[in-house]
């Protein structure tokens, strides 16, 4: 059984095939993850006839459960030993169960009781979240195993996120047209059937891409990450990792902002702009422009640092919330143009945090002598899961407070509430996130010092 450290991970450049093979899974994962992120709240309230507050609570409690099992999944993957490696096997284990569960989430069985509909949705969505965690936590941790070169990690993250954004683009842009096409119309029954078929199709694509990734990549470290210790003892890896705590808190704020905004887009175009047919265009404007900006943020992170790149992109997105709030209802074309500009800032979301978290793995080994990328990634995904739970609860509660009524003309208070959730609420979270991320201490100089001292320690240099 081998115990691996940063010094044992080669810094050679990864081949294009290795990068693409790793990243392709995130196309399907992006499809499956963002289908609920963009459309589940709307599906629950307007298609499956669940009250807005109950729908928000379903998202909240399912993701809270998911948040807490993520660290446990990371801990488990740290001590897994198979002929396929430590992290890679979970792609194989989770692909088909996750595909099955996403189909059930949007299945809309004929349940007459509102209470039973709530219980059904809560159960199947929790099952889906659990299955996704089985794959996503080990999958994310593979970045730190594949290379120890900080810039190469940024490039690897860029490959992965291009696939993720492509999946998000297809999901965001194609979901509504697919619902109409596969459902055979726009009435309530057709919409329910359309979402059901979309769940099946997206689940199948996700399973296929994840399995392609499993068969395409190889782990460079296959042994356990050290002698097995109790989970609570491994928590010290988190407690003593100040950069990781800062990054996790900042990412949570940024993702709450993004998920609140994206979760309200459907409502905003349907009710504020009376342009439900433009929902795919709105998501395409956001996602397509984010793809275009990734090379810029990759260059910026190399020349000015990952922290600077992350904060600049999010500041740009936050600043645009104000003109969207003031002007967007005047013209659909203006709204789409502003969404395109917001997307340019979002490119950093798909790159910077995933390039920064591997650096905290090295910090942990440098500080404690323990390399526990699994549990670190598990807690990092905790922040992502929490950032989905909080917007669901926030949006559901605000919609209830302002008198939102599904599939009806909304009162002025409801329209203002929807617009504020799209713009002002995300702006507040972005400001908090920028303040937090500004305190992230690891730069290139510190990273070189950490890896040098880890190598010297491994070689017995005092």
Mean per-residue pLDDT for 412-426? Answer: 96
Distance separating the N- and C-terminal Cα atoms of the chain? 26
At 48 the pLDDT is 96
Judged by phi (left if over 0) then psi (alpha if -120 to 50, else beta), residue 5 lies in beta
Q: What is the pLDDT of residues 326-348, one digit of tens each?
A: 998 899 999 999 999 999 999 89
Q: What pLDDT does 327 receive?
A: 92
Of 21-30, 137-146, 342-351, the poorest mean pLDDT is in 137-146
Res 204: pLDDT: 97
Phi and psi at residue 112, in whole multiples of 5°? -75, -40
Is 244 in contact with 364 (CB distance < 8 Å)?
yes
- Per-domain residue ranges of the chain: 16-216+230-455
Residue 404 is predicted with a pLDDT of 94
**Res 105: pLDDT:** 97
Helix (H), strand (E), coil (C) string for 26-51: HHHHHHHHHHHHHHHHHHHHHHCCCC
pLDDT of residue 220: 66
Which residue did the predictor score with more confidence, 76 or 222?
76
pLDDT in tens, 276-299: 999 989 998 988 898 889 889 989
Q: For domain 16-216+230-455, give the CATH number.
A: 1.20.1250.20
Among residues 241, 366, 355, 259, the alpha carbon closest in space to that of 301 is found at: 355
Confidence of residue 6 (pLDDT cuts 50, 70, 90): very low
What is the pLDDT at residue 4? 40
Q: Alpha-carbon distance 378 to 225, whole Å?
A: 15
The secondary structure of the chain in percent helix, strand, coil, rounded to multiples of 5, reads: 80, 0, 20
Q: Which of 22-36, 226-240, 437-451 has the lowest mean pLDDT?
A: 226-240
Mean pLDDT of the chain: 88
Check residue 15 and give its pLDDT.
Answer: 84
Core vs surface per residue 33-47: b (16+ CB within 10 A) or e:
bbbbbbbbbbbbbbb
The highest-confidence range among 169-173, 374-378, 424-428, by mean pLDDT, is 424-428
Token readout for 357 is: 């978290």
Q: What is the pLDDT of residue 5?
A: 41
Can you tell me the distance from the alpha carbon of 358 to that of 364, in angstroms, rounded to the nearest whole number?
Answer: 10
pLDDT of 69: 87
- The DSSP result for 240-297, as a single string, is T-HHHHHHHHHHHHHHHHHHHHHHHHHHIIIIISS-GGGHHHHHHHHHHHHHHHHHHH
DSSP symbol at 442: -
Q: pLDDT tier at 232 (50, 70, 90 boundaries)?
A: low
- Dist. CA 316–CA 438, nearest whole Å: 15
Kindly provide the b/e burial profile for residues 194-204, where b requires at least 16 CB atoms within 10 angstroms of the residue's own CB.
bbbbbbbbbbb
Would you say residue 143 has pLDDT above 60?
yes
**218: exposed, middle or buried (Cβ count in 10 Å: 0-12, 13-18, 19+):** exposed
Q: Choose between 33 and 90: higher pLDDT.
A: 90
Q: How far apart are CA 262 and CA 391, in angstroms?
A: 10
The answer on pLDDT for 226 being more than 60 is no
* Dihedral sign, Cα of residue 344, residue 350, residue 353, residue 354: negative
Tell me the C-alpha distance between 329 and 422, whole Å: 12
Q: What percent of the chain has pLDDT over 90?
A: 57
Greater model confidence, 114 or 11: 114
Helix, coil or strand: residue 220: coil
């Amino acid at each position: 059984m081998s115990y691996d450290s940063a010094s044992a991970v080669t810094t050679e450049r990864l081949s294009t095939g290795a990068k693409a093979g790793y990243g392709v899974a995130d196309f399907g994962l992006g499809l499956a993850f963002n289908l609920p992120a963009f459309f589940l709240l709307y599906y629950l309230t307007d298609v499956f006839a669940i009250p807005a507050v109950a729908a928000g609570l379903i998202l909240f409690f399912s993701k809270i459960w998911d948040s807490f099992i993520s660290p446990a999944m990371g801990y488990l993957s740290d001590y897994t030993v198979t002929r396929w490696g430590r992290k890679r096997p979970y792609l194989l284990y989770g692909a088909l169960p996750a595909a099955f569960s996403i189909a059930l989430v949007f299945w809309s069985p004929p349940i007459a009781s509102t209470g039973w509909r709530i219980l059904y949705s809560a159960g199947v969505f929790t099952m889906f979240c659990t299955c996704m965690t089985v794959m996503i936590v080990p999958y994310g941790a593979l970045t730190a195993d594949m290379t120890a070169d900080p810039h190469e990690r940024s490039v690897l993250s860029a490959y992965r996120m291009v696939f993720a954004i492509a999946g998000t683009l297809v999901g965001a842009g194609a979901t509504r047209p697919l619902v109409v096409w596969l459902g055979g119309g726009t009435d309530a029954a057709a919409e329910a059937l359309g979402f059901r078929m979309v769940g099946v199709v997206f689940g199948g694509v996700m399973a296929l891409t994840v399995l392609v990734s499993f068969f395409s990549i190889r782990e460079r470290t296959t042994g356990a990450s050290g002698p097995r210790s109790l989970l609570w003892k491994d928590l010290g890896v988190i407690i003593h990792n100040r950069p990781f705590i800062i990054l996790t808190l900042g990412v949570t704020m940024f993702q709450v902002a993004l998920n609140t905004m994206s979760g309200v887009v459907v409502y905003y175009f349907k009710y504020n702009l009376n342009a439900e047919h433009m929902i795919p265009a709105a998501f395409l404007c956001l996602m397509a422009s984010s793809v275009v900006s990734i090379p810029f943020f990759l260059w910026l992170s190399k020349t000015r640092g990952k922290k600077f790149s992350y904060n600049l992109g999010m500041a740009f997105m936050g600043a645009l919330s104000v003109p969207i709030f003031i002007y967007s209802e005047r013209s659909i074309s203006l709204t789409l143009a502003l969404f395109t500009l917001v997307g340019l800032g979002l490119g950093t979301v798909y790159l910077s945090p995933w390039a920064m978290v591997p650096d905290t793995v090295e910090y942990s080994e440098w500080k404690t002598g323990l390399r526990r990328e699994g549990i670190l990634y598990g807690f990092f995904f905790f922040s992502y899961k929490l950032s989905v739970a909080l917007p669901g609860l926030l949006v559901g509660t605000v919609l209830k407070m302002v008198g939102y009524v599904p599939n009806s003309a909304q009162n002025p208070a409801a329209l203002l509430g929807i617009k504020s959730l799209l713009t002002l609420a995300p702006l507040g979270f972005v400001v908090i996130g920028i303040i937090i991320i500004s305190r992230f201490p690891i730069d290139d100089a510190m990273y070189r010092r950490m890896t040098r001292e880890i190598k010297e320690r491994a070689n017995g240099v005092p």
